[in-house]
Amino acid sequence: MGFLLCHIAKAEFMTEEARRLDEWLSQDYHGDMSYMANHFDKRVDPRLLVPGAKSVISLAYNYYSNVRQIDPEAPQISMYAYGKDYHKVVKKKLQQMLEWMKTSFGNINGRVFVDSAPVLERDWARRSGLGWMGKNTMIIHPKKGSWFFLAEIITDLEMVYDQQLSDYCGTCTRCIDACPTEAIHEDGYLMDGSKCISYLTIELKKKLPLEYKDKMENWMFGCDICQQVCPWNRFAESHSEPAFLPKEKLISMSKEEWHDLSEPLFDELFEGSAVKRTKYEGLKRNIKFLS
């Protein structure tokens, strides 16, 4: 199906993760993302999402690209949003995979998830051995890096479960040192989402706080800094997914063209794109904030 990695964990209540999530929410690290506090019970117990669930299959889908925006002064878009909306692209493949499983293994029950339901994706990826959770809170694989989407199939099919990986971040603090808004805790492994540039440019619907005026590092949608500086991403290889290829116009636009962006051009550039989440007014807000 084109997935980069596939690992499996036992479906069960997540005791430690529930405690950490509760602490994270209590510190308001989710900012205005109120939905993060919804369905807490389902987030920490996959059996409430799929009755009788026995296995959580975690998959990774590569989105790394060697393509870059041509104008070095142009406002930047996170690499994951270069092409078509990954939710739709990856979910279609998951649905095909689940159908294959039903054909192969009989009358099984299951659901597919791509960042669109109360599922603790990174915790399940870590539990399954797909990677370890790095100091930047991303899932890192020792041979593939971290430039990939996470997806899950939760099923009542009992399977052989994989072993967790060790943490290989070691004494490295590159992601912590490089984060311009200090969103990553000084000891790592904890993200204040309300300070993250991705949150500020996508999730936050209000005016951008002036305290971040000179800390955005020219990002107008998302941010890749903590992945760009991660040494493990030297192993990343370009994806082979046509749907993730950026439009030539998007890559070639100059700084001036972005600042003059019209709504019709926005619709043309980002048809079927995850950038639509921030809407035209949101992207214009972000671009203006950078000037």
The 10s digit of each residue's pLDDT in 49-88 is: 999 999 999 999 999 999 999 999 999 999 999 999 999 9
Lowest mean pLDDT among 31-35, 92-96, 286-290: 31-35
pLDDT of residue 32: 87
Instruction: Please report, for residues 44, 101, 222, 245, the alpha-carbon distance to residue 11 in angstroms, rounded to integers and kept in the order given.
Output: 10, 17, 32, 35
In a domain? residue 150: yes
By the 8 A CB rule, do 62 and 237 touch?
Answer: yes
- Domain residue limits at 94: 5-155
Whole-angstrom distance, CA of residue 116 vs CA of residue 212:
29
Considering the chain, what percentage of its residues have pLDDT values greater than 70? 100
Q: Is 124 a domain residue?
A: yes
Does some domain include residue 261? Answer: no
pLDDT at residue 22 tops 90:
yes
What pLDDT sits at residue 6?
Answer: 98
Q: Is residue 45 part of a domain?
A: yes
Domain-located, residue 35: yes
Residue 80's closest CA among 95, 65, 70? Answer: 65
pLDDT at 127 (0 to 100): 98
In a domain, 110, yes or no: yes
* 211 occurs within a structural domain: no
Mean pLDDT of 28-34: 89
164 by DSSP, 3-state: which?
A: coil
Q: What pLDDT does 40 receive?
A: 94
145 DSSP 8-state letter: B
Q: Is the dihedral of CA 26, 32, 33, 39 positive or negative?
A: positive
Predicted local distance difference test score (pLDDT) of residue 208 = 97
Q: Does residue 291 surpass a pLDDT of 90?
A: no
Q: How confident is the model over 133-190, as pLDDT tens digits?
A: 999 999 999 999 999 999 999 999 999 999 999 999 999 999 999 999 999 999 999 9
Beta partners for residue 145, in sequence order = 141
Catalytic center residues: 115
At 220 the three-state DSSP class reads: strand
78 falls within a domain: yes
| pLDDT of 37 higher than 90 | no
What's the pTM value of the predicted model, to 2 decimals? 0.95
pLDDT at 35: 84
- Number of structural domains found in the chain: 1
Say which residues have a Cβ less than 8 Å from residue 200's Cβ, sequence separation at least 6: 181, 208, 209, 212, 216
- Which tokens go with 251? 């890559």
Mean pLDDT of all residues belonging to the chain: 96
Residue 113 has pLDDT above 90, yes or no: yes
Q: Is the pLDDT of residue 116 over 90?
A: no
